[in-house]
Amino acid sequence: MVLAQVDTSAVSALLGRFGLRLRVLPPDSLIPGSYWGAPEAGLIGTTVYVRPDTPLHSLLHESCHVICMDEARRARLHTDAGGETPEEDAVCYLQILLADRIPGFGRARALNDMDAWGYTFRLGSAQRWFEEDAEAACQWLIRYQLIDSDSCPCYRLRQY
């Protein structure tokens, strides 16, 4: 599912709760800060660059990188979010949680789109990983106060 299939203002409002800015570019534009190339989302600082054909899972994944990285990396962020494996797992977990906050998208679609894109999890699917093997990612997010103990987003950026 791509950005054009949902209410862009709802996506922008969701990211805005974290202090992120969504910049929607015209179709066929180059996407600044895109690690994978268009139509995948791009990152520069706290701005997430997308086009109408940008996959929502990509927009959420890159946004969650900004949310999960520490302040020092965020201050110099351009294209490559970097980070270690535990942070990458937390990014994936958070993007799945946030998918439910985009009307018309939701967790089930996000999980399917992640699998279709080629995310790899040792249990074979994003859903099995999320439901059976993601406890460490959940605990990482709780430790950095990005979600609460009920897996609800705290709508803040990682501070340390």
Is 68 in the same domain as 39? yes
Q: Answer whether residue 157 is part of any domain.
A: no
Segments forming the whole domain that contains residue 63: 3-75
Name the domain count of the chain.
2
Is 8 in the same domain as 71? yes
The token duo for 8 is 């862009």
* 3-58 pLDDT, tens digit each: 999 999 999 999 999 999 999 999 999 999 999 999 999 999 999 999 999 999 99
Q: Answer whether residue 10 is part of any domain.
A: yes
Look at residue 46 in the predicted model and tell me its pLDDT: 98
Q: Which of 95-104, 117-126, 138-147 is predicted least confidently?
A: 117-126
Average pLDDT score over the chain: 96
Q: Answer whether residue 41 is part of any domain.
A: yes
Is 71 in the same domain as 90? no
Look at residue 124 in the predicted model and tell me its pLDDT: 84
Q: Answer whether residue 154 is part of any domain.
A: no
Is 71 in the same domain as 122? no
131-154 burial, b if ≥16 CB within 10 A, otherwise e?
A: eeebeebbebbbebebbeeeeebe
